[in-house]
Amino acid sequence: WAKDHDDEAQHIVKRAQRFTQRNLLPNHILCYHVQVLQEYAKRLISPIKISPDMELVQHEFDESHIKKDNCICHRLENLNHIDL
């Protein structure tokens, strides 16, 4: 198919590359995970229990930039194959 439709195949490739650059870089994936975990936290109905064998892991860098307000994940919500 691709050999017979070279122009269309090139168009698909360019759109896929653009989609990847706009939506699938590490910062986009991190943003998505932040949103998933925030939504999960909202749905928890039982209190979180901290066991004595749990260890607090603190980050050595400022994460203040990781906020839902700064997230661009909302751009991914209504995508479908047409966007590629």
Give the pLDDT confidence score for residue 71 in this predicted structure. 59
- Give the domain ranges of the chain: 6-83
- Between CA 32 and CA 37, with CA 33 as vertex, the angle to 5 degrees is 120
Task: Name the pLDDT band for 83 (thresholds 50, 70, 90).
Answer: very low
Give the pLDDT confidence score for residue 53 in this predicted structure. 95
The DSSP symbol for 78 reads T
pTM: 0.49
What does the pLDDT average to over 50-77? 66
SS3 79: coil
Structure tokens at 61: 């860098």
Q: Helices in 24-56 by DSSP H: which ranges?
A: 26-43
Contact 68, 37 (CB under 8 A): no
Residue 49, pLDDT above cutoff 50? yes
The rounded distance, in Å, linking the Cα atoms of 25 and 35 is: 16
53: Cα separation from own chain's centroid: 31
